[in-house]
Amino acid sequence: MDLGEQLRGVRWTLGRQWFRVWEVRNYYSMLETRARAGAEITPGYFLMAVAAASLATAGLLLDNATVIIGSMCVAPFLGPSRAVCIGGLFRNWQVMLRGLAKQLLGLLFIGAGTAYVITTMLQTSVPGVDATNEIILRAMPTLRHVVLSVLIAVAAGAAASLSLSADPRVVETPWGQVFDAVIGVEIAISLIPPAAVAGIGLAFGQPAMSRNALFLLLVNVVGLDILGSMLMLAMRGVRPRYLHLENAVRRAAEAALARMPGVLLRASTVDVTLLGESSVDVRAAVRCASEGSLLPALAQDIATTIQERTGCRSEVTVDLIPSQSYSTF
């Protein structure tokens, strides 16, 4: 092999390493958990969507950008967007479709519906309720506005994915929660105002206004979920096979633990860290009724089971936690 081929091989290896997320504990399982949680429709989601739509409607009718920004701060659309993105990447179509349904439910039925109800009520009791500049901006967007809106949606989606992959170790820290809050505002920029304008247009009896705002909203959803979020995570190397590998390693470790007498499997935890395509680090916190009842080579048995079932080399650490239980049942 000549020097040029060696350099190309080094660049290829470095590229694979740079565009993959390694050495983060339970990373792909965490992504799957985030996606499943984002697809769940809860009473809190409904109430926050109503609050965001109410603020957006008031801000649009008042022509007040500050109030519109306030609506973005409480809009709960980061979760369903991640469900669509991660569910699609992991080919979990149920999670993806549930996330999309949750997103559209919050925007079209709750968001636009709330705006319609509020605007209709105001028209019957408050004089001077009419289209403002902020409404017209979304109701009759120019080509320049559409292109820039899509750019904003794509950038917000990319930021949402980068917050999970650029520095994944901080995801579960307080700083990660701050990043999520900021990114949630960025995502809402593209979603809640046009959703509210769609409802306002119906209340005004102007279907063209609603149609234009709905078109802008749907284009932004595609830019946010697909072109921004999903594409960025794909570029960062998020693949379903890594999730499957992480889960397979965890199942293999749990199978080895289940063979050991005295192990309280339900109370034990297995953390898996992918170090590469075929190497993993496993840390098991094993609760046992009696430490002496365990085989001395428990870590070796786990490593052997992982090798047999997944073909991965592993470094296994086992922390034994003596435990007692008492029940009156």
Global confidence as pTM:
0.85
Question: Each residue of 41-92: pLDDT tens digit?
Answer: 999 999 999 999 999 999 999 999 999 999 999 999 999 999 999 999 999 9
Instruction: Name the percent of the chain lying above pLDDT 70.
Output: 87
Choose the CATH number for 17-238 among 1.10.3470, 1.10.3430, 1.20.1080, 2.30.180. 1.20.1080
Residue ranges of the chain that CATH labels 3.30.300.30 = 241-322
Q: What is the pLDDT of residue 115?
A: 96
Question: Each residue of 4-44: pLDDT tens digit?
Answer: 444 344 333 434 455 678 888 999 999 999 999 999 999 99
Q: Is the pLDDT of residue 168 over 60?
A: yes
**What sign results for the dihedral spanned by CA atoms 68, 70, 71, 76?**
positive
Q: Where do the H-state alpha helices sit in 19-77?
A: 27-39, 43-62, 65-74
Nearest in space to 200 (alpha carbons), one of 36, 16, 53, 45:
53
Q: What is the pLDDT of residue 15?
A: 43
C-alpha span between 165 and 212 (Å, rounded): 35
Q: What are the DSSP E strand ranges found in the chain?
A: 269-274, 279-288, 313-322
Output the six-digit token pair for 28: 């792909």
Fold of 241-322: GMP Synthetase; Chain A, domain 3 (3.30.300)
Residue ranges of the chain that CATH labels 1.20.1080 = 17-238
Question: Each residue of 95-130: pLDDT tens digit?
Answer: 999 999 999 999 999 999 999 999 999 998 888 888
Name, of 19-23, 152-156, 241-245, the range with top average pLDDT: 241-245
Nearest in space to 106 (alpha carbons), one of 120, 164, 98, 69:
98
Q: Is the pLDDT of residue 150 over 90?
A: no
C-alpha span between 115 and 131 (Å, rounded): 13
Write the CB contacts of 92 (distance below 8 Å, at least 6 apart in sequence).
Answer: 32, 35, 86
Considering just the CA atoms, what is the radius of gyration of the chain in Å? Answer: 25
**Backbone φ and ψ of 278, nearest 5°:** -140, 25
Q: Is the pLDDT of residue 293 over 90?
A: no
Nearest in space to 297 (alpha carbons), one of 276, 316, 279:
316
Question: Each residue of 184-210: pLDDT tens digit?
Answer: 887 888 899 999 999 999 999 999 999
